[in-house]
Structure 1
């Protein structure tokens, strides 16, 4: 943790901390699950900077409360006193309401601290709170508590990190919302919401697609938006659907095919499993990406032809609800279990299937015919 020894800017420390933040951001780039992103960030801050504990709250859709999304370090439970914070209440609610970053190295002496004795007993000195901003308003709050003082420039580092975290969370929240309303919006409309502006053209009549195909195309649109896609088109053919995109690149630092392949790895692998193809071609100042997928996914003709699922009965139930676009909270309510238990089963599923994200797990389960 950076130490407050003087008011002089420690440039070397600033650059080092920025590098560590960049490494942390690379871990969750492209993820589309808010809980997973928030957990990655809070755990990463503990590992990289030695904080006492870190937390992320997300503003609820009604903008009246904030919900604790992730907590790491001294406290990992999500159901304590600050599981839900009213907008404008306590320091977290005020940061969300007024969008002012805050750093203090005398936490026990702050008049807003709810439990001063707790701060003294746990030897908590430093606190930093930052609004996670998109479109001019806070969608959440990132908070860090430390045993040692934090240098002023560390707040600048955290502000830069918070921009990436806010962007990733906003995209993930939008993605989850779109997946939960597949009947009210065409795929092209959902993709246009990611890409923005008038960057998408539609050729042909939109057809109902298999759920894994829809999810894969939405994930591709998410990547293209981050790459500042200039133009793309969605083409419906007889049995296939094709997404073609053109990316403008800096001639002094052109995008390489290998770099793009790495970026689209979480699309390439499950796409090939579904019988699709991903083609990438690069020039000095432009790159072309073409993803072709079957509109429907072949299912095994009988149960005897299926590979036995390694998932337990409960894990299979969780997988089924994930494939339908439900959030952890919804799954917990339907199965009468806690959100923590849902996360436990989801992690076991990823380990058993040898995949990195829940979307990849859904692809694998669909390919093997384990979903009803």
Structure 2
């Protein structure tokens, strides 16, 4: 058995992500889970900007600025949580088609994306916005639960991300996907229960 003195101490990034994981796992309310994740990345991991998009039905196609790039209007990525530079959910990126922009490509199977040179990385648009806000790094990961993509989690930072932090974030994304799926299932069960109760009242 490994002695406590020989164990590798947790890094600040690991401690921060562990705190966020503990908090997000303590709730089955989807809004609380999503907000805990994004705000936690800003507060505990020094992210300048953190967001989560989840797959949902295509509902705002006529007002989507990327509608012309959308091949499947039945579903797209819905912005569900945002913290840091922007906390509103009704901006330009409230809906992102699958395969469009960096977020849509991550969701469609391009895999995680990390860079410590956002201004020099051709995969990222809006260079002036990044420069104005002093952004240096970006990390984005698919939220995958048992092989199914639920959405995408992404963050910008004003400092470089170490390789270890990126590895930890990849693991954290899997933990986040589990917490999100549990909250979604709980909401579905609650909705079904309420419907059955309403039907029972009607049939009395």
TM-score (ref. length: structure 1): 0.44
Change in Cα spacing, 1:61 to 1:185, as seen in structure 2 (3 Å) is farther
Distance change >3 Å, CA 170–CA 61, structure 1 → 2: farther
CA distance in structure 1 between the partners assigned to 2:33 and 2:110 by the alignment: 21
The match for 2:186 among 175, 180, 184 is 175
Counterpart among 163, 175, 180 of residue 174 in structure 2:
163
CA contact (8 A) 2:28 2:183 kept: yes
Map of 1:36 onto structure 2: 32
- Which stretch shifts more, 177-186 or 86-95? 177-186
Trace 1:196-211 onto structure 2 (pairs within 5 A).
none
Q: Runs of 4+ in structure 1 displaced over 4 angstroms?
A: 183-186
Q: For 1:57, which of 45, 53, 57 is the aligned residue?
A: 53
Cα pair 1:57 1:69 within 8 Å, conserved:
yes
Alignment of 1:187-226 (within 5 A): none
Match of 1:92 in 2: 103
> Is 1:20 aligned with 2:16?
yes
2:41 maps to which residue?
A: 45
Contact in 1 for aligned 2:17/2:45 (Cα 8 Å): no
CA displacement at 1:183 relative to structure 2:
7.3
Relative contact order, CA 8 A, sep 6+: which one is greater? 2
Structure 2 residue runs without a partner (length 5+): 1-7, 59-73
> Number of aligned pairs?
177
- Are positions 1:82 and 2:78 aligned together? no
Q: Which has the larger radius of gyration?
A: 1
Spell out, residue by residue over 1:171-199, the C-alpha distance to the aligned partner (whole angstroms, 9 max, x if none): 1111212222337889xxxxxxxxxxxxx
C-alpha distance in 1, partners of 2:16/2:159?
19
Relative to structure 2, which stretch is displaced further, 110-119 or 75-84? 110-119
For structure 1, the 5+ residue unaligned runs are 1-10, 187-207, 209-372
Following superposition, the deviation at residue 61 of structure 1 comes to 5.3
